[in-house]
Amino acid sequence: MTITSICCPSRDSWNRTMDRCYRIVPCLSDPARRSALGLKFALMMLHLIYGGVLFLFDGDLIEKTKTEPWYTAIYLLLFVSTLIQYFITSGSSPGYVLDAMRAVNESNTIFRRTSVASKQPASSKNGSVVVTMDSGQSGRSVLGSTATSWTKLVMDLHPPGTSVRSLSCSYCNVEQPPRAKHCHDCDKCVLQFDHHCVWLGTCIGQGNHCKFWWYICEETALCLWTGILYITYLKTNISRAWWKSAIMILLLVILSISLIFLLLLLLFHSYLVLTNQTTFELVRRRRIPYLRGIPERVYPFSKGICKNLYNFCCVRGNEYSLEALPTAQELEEKSRPYTCLDVITCRCC
């Protein structure tokens, strides 16, 4: 028996219990996954407390449920779908550069350019993988995969003369296409990196940004509806116990702060979607080499509001979309001031 076990029997038994837990649920041994699980549990509890307190205190809502069950049914549907969306988003991962590179280096992976009319996904060892190369530059063929296929492809997406070394990630040792960034939390290079969301425990980037947008949209709607129900209760139930009012007011204040934050987040991400930008690109615009020198109001990757929306909503899970850096000519065209004709013809769309 060790000295520690004699002095601290409770700690020893605690360690034994934790070891048993780790054996039953292996993911608990990882501190990052443990904190992510803790956050998921906290979010579930937060939702249940808000919903539970409402149905426990508000007799009028119970009465209304009996007369108009559809009202409560729609609310509960939103409640459940928000939680489901949260778990779907937190369980999703963005497109990783390493996976895209593996897909490119698969011998039978076929590249397709968005401008080409015939678009046929090709099968690879791991199922159907498509790499979309939206290039406005040289357009060299990269068919015929070799070990340097990925390097050639990445070089095609950057302006001529860019050195390969400047594009290599020092952590993954892989060439990064434009808009990719290494995430230190995930320890991987992420395509179209937006941010690493601690609340969801995953990175937001290409492939799951749309899921993230829907989650904050549903959460905002749920917060708004719950807030309305709380205010209705406080306004109608005058002869209630004081402690019930205190609890409801406290929860309403927290809910209002969360709602303001969610609304701003939703507006911010909607703006990013419409202009085809990421949070990282917007915040670090002056520090990202390929964005340095581009005027503030010019969105280099924007293809018009409609196309941006289509690309955002309709990107399939097995598809990697690699965007080329715009040429000087394209940037000049984008920075051209708007004329009356541009407004009439909806140039921004």
- By CB under 5 A, is residue 68 in contact with Zn ion? no
Interior/surface letters 136-158, b for 16+ CB within 10 angstroms, e for the rest: eeeeeebeebeeebbbbbbbbbb
Tell me if 98 contacts Zn ion by CB under 5 A: no
Q: Residues 202 to 231: which contact Zn ion by CB under 5 A?
A: 203
Q: How many residues bind Zn ion (CB under 5 A)?
A: 10
Q: Does residue 186 touch Zn ion according to CB under 5 A?
A: yes
Please give the full DSSP string across 48-106, using - where no structure is assigned: HHHHHHHHHH-HHHHHHHHH-HHHHHHHHHHHHHHHHHHHHHHH----BHHHHHHHHHS
10-49 as b/e: b if 16+ CB within 10 A = eeeeeeeeeeeeeeeeeeeeeeeeeebeeebeebeeebee
Smaller CB distance to Zn ion: residue 166 or 335?
Answer: 166
Q: Write out the E strands in the chain.
A: 111-113, 122-124, 127-134, 181-183, 188-190, 195-197, 202-204, 319-323
Q: Rule CB under 5 A: is residue 262 a binding residue for Zn ion? A: no
Q: Which is nearer to Zn ion, 204 or 251 (CB)?
A: 204
Contact flag: residue 152 with Zn ion (CB under 5 A): no
Q: Is 198 in the site for Zn ion (CB under 5 A)?
A: no
| Single residue of 36, 61, 130, 189 touching Zn ion by CB under 5 A | 189
Interacting residue with Zn ion among 40, 47, 196, 211 (CB under 5 A): 196
| Closer residue to Zn ion (CB): 64 or 182 | 182
Q: Which residue out of 169, 197, 217, 348 is catalytically annotated?
A: 197
Active-site annotation holds for 197: yes
AA letter at 77: L
In this chain, which of 102, 182, 195, 334 binds Zn ion, going by CB under 5 A? 182
Across the strands, what pairs with 175? 168
Using CB under 5 A, which of 171, 268, 271, 310 touches Zn ion? Answer: 171
Residue 121 token pair: 């996904």
- The reply to whether 169 sits near Zn ion by the rule CB under 5 A is yes
- Regarding 185 and contact with Zn ion (CB under 5 A), the answer is yes
Give the binding site for Zn ion (CB under 5 A): 169, 171-172, 182-183, 185-186, 189, 196, 203
